[in-house]
Amino acid sequence: MVESQSPRRIGRNVLALVAGFIVVVLLSIATDLILHAAGLLPPLGQRTSNGLLFLATAYRTAYGIAGSYVTARLAPYQPMQHALLGGFVGLILSIAGAIATWSRPETFGAHWYPVALVLLALPTAWAGGRIRLMQLHQEQLA
């Protein structure tokens, strides 16, 4: 006998993934806007220096971990699998972004930046899921 998931459980799975994605997108966009308003990032369409791309990589990595943690935290079961699924979606989106910007480095900056985002998608998802698993382990010990 094959058991199917209830619509409520499927809804919670989707909600967990969407919530993690929203966290990453909102934090990334908000940080970009703040850095643009402060004059630290150049106007859109102008090349960004390697140092600023490194900064963007750092905060996007941190936000990816946070978003994966949110996904794992809200997942009704198997938090690591949910976090990694969200990371896989991020990987696909990062690959699409790299392809879309590859032929215009004069506008979008160095090629290493989109490659870094692709390479970091799954490790950041794993880190967010791992934080949640460590938290669950501590709760079980308490």
Band the pLDDT of 4: cuts 50, 70, 90.
low
For the segment 51-63, the average pLDDT, to the nearest whole number, is 96
What is the model's pTM?
Answer: 0.90
* SS3 assignment, position 48: coil
Residue with tokens 């908000």: 30
For residue 112, pLDDT over 60 is answered with yes
Q: What is the dihedral of CA 50, 105, 65, 96, to 10 degrees?
A: -170
For residue 30, pLDDT over 90 is answered with yes
For the segment 78-96, the average pLDDT, to the nearest whole number, is 97
Band the pLDDT of 38: cuts 50, 70, 90.
very high
The alpha carbon of 107 is separated from its chain's Cα centroid by a whole number of angstroms, namely 23
How far apart, in whole angstroms, are the C-alpha atoms of residue 78 and residue 136?
11
* Dihedral of alpha carbons 73, 120, 95, 112, sign: positive
CB atoms < 10 A from the CB of 69, how many? Answer: 23
For the segment 87-103, the average pLDDT, to the nearest whole number, is 95
Please report, as a single letter, which amino acid is at residue 99: I
* Dihedral of alpha carbons 78, 79, 84, 90, sign: positive
Where are the chain's structural domains? Answer: 7-141
